[in-house]
Amino acid sequence: MALYKVEICGVDTSKLPMMNAKQSAELLERYKGGDGDAREELINGNLRLVLSVIQRFSNRGEPMDDLFQVGCIGLIKAIDNFDLSHGVRFSTYAVPMIIGEIRRFLRDSNQIRVSRSLRDTAYRALQTRNALAAKLNREPKLSEIAKELDMKEEMIVFALEAIQDPVSMFEPVYHDDGDAIFVMDQIMDETVSEAQWIDNIAIEQGIKKLSEREQKILRMRFFDGKTQMEVSSEIGISQAQVSRLEKNALRSMRRHV
């Protein structure tokens, strides 16, 4: 099925409604309060979000109709599991859920087969990780997951790696107002230290010309080796905003250095 086909699963994609963050938040409030109609509105209002996600999987050889249906399952799971108290935009939570559902579908239909026992171990580890995250209110350590499952850490790592698809470092995982967040933006670079930056006087002078927030973001990212998600959590802004400020700061530094 062609990528630019207007109709997917009987839905005219050119007529899909646009739902902003404020509308989603209001409908989520209604749905969590017991309004079943609000859930239906949320699904229909976010189908365009599903469409934008499945397009990045268009080169996998799977029918777009199938990917769209699977993506809708991820959207529904996101709506049902979204916690208003987390204070994040619904789209920020929903996109990874939709991607995860599609990746599971592609893994299960992949010609490269992983043994059933290994796959079961991986899924048990993922379920345990989610349960511990909810219980501890933080990302659980590998040792904690291993202890809960009474398994060796090496076995859990091996099982999880077996079910993963290869991902490009430059694969976009989220878009916000046209600025993409790539896989590489979420990886900590431990090779960059503060000493390396301070030794370069020109770069230090360039940093001083930035705003206080831009300086803080660059120091946390490149001096402390933190991910954009960690920076966004500490500063209190979205990861997309961190990515945008980081890119603007680096562009500004290039002009001064």
Position 195 confidence tier, pLDDT thresholds 50, 70, 90 = very low
Mean pLDDT for the chain? 77
Q: Using one digit for the tens of pLDDT, what is the confidence trace for 76-132? A: 998 888 888 877 888 888 888 899 888 888 877 655 555 677 778 888 888 898 889
Could you give the CA distance from residue 73 to residue 114 in angstroms, rounded to a whole number? 24
If one compares 124 and 195, the residue with the highest pLDDT of the two is: 124
Q: How many CB atoms lie within 10 A of CB 163?
A: 19
Cβ contacts of 100 within 8 Å, gap of 6 or more: 74
Is 256 a residue whose pLDDT tops 80?
Answer: no
- Predicted structure pTM score: 0.43
Dihedral sign of CA atoms 192, 194, 200, 202 in order: positive
User: Which amino acid is residue 146, in one-letter code?
Assistant: A
Selection from 107-116, 154-163, 239-248 with the highest mean pLDDT = 239-248
Could you give the CA distance from residue 181 to residue 112 in angstroms, rounded to a whole number? 29
Q: Residue for token digits 């049902």?
A: 80
Task: Please compute, for residue 163, the number of CA atoms within 13 A of its CA located in the half-sphere on the CB side.
Answer: 23
Q: Using one digit for the tens of pLDDT, what is the confidence trace for 18-54? A: 788 888 888 888 988 888 888 888 888 888 888 888 8
Is 176 a residue whose pLDDT tops 70?
Answer: no
Asked if residues 133 and 85 have their Cβ atoms less than 8 Å apart, the reply is no
DSSP letter (8 states) at residue 9: T
Could you give the CA distance from residue 30 to residue 24 in angstroms, rounded to a whole number? 10
